[in-house]
Chain A
Amino acid sequence: MTRIIEITVATDGQTRVETKGFSGAGCREASRFIETALGKRTEEQLTSEFHQQLGQQQTNRQQS
Chain B
Amino acid sequence: MSHIVQIQTEVRDPVAVTSACHRLKLSEPVQDTFKLFSSEATGLGVELPEWRYPVVCNTASGQLQYDNFEGRWGDRSHLNQFLQVYAVEKTRIEARRKGHTVTEQAQADGSIKLTVQVGGAE
Contact = CB atoms under 8 A, between A and B. Distances in A.
Interface residues of B, number: 42
B30 interface: no
A25 B72 CA distance: 48
Interface size classification for chain A: 35 or more
Given A8-B111, A9-B111, A11-B84, A47 B121 contact: no
A57 B87 CA distance: 34
Contact of A2 (B6, B95, B121): B121
B84 A27 contact: no
A56 interface: no
Contacts of B27: none
A40 B10 contact: yes
B9 A39 contact: yes
Interface of A: 1-24, 26-28, 30-31, 33-35, 37-47, 49-50, 53
Nearest to A45: B4
A6 B9 contact: no
Contacts of B113: 6-9
B8 A39 contact: yes
Interface in B1-56: 1-10, 12-13
Nearest to A23: B122
Contacts of B13: 37
A28 B3 CA distance: 7
A9 B84 contact: yes
Contact of B122 (A22, A37, A39): A22
A33 B115 CA distance: 15
Contacts of A11: 80-81, 84, 109-111
A44 B91 CA distance: 19
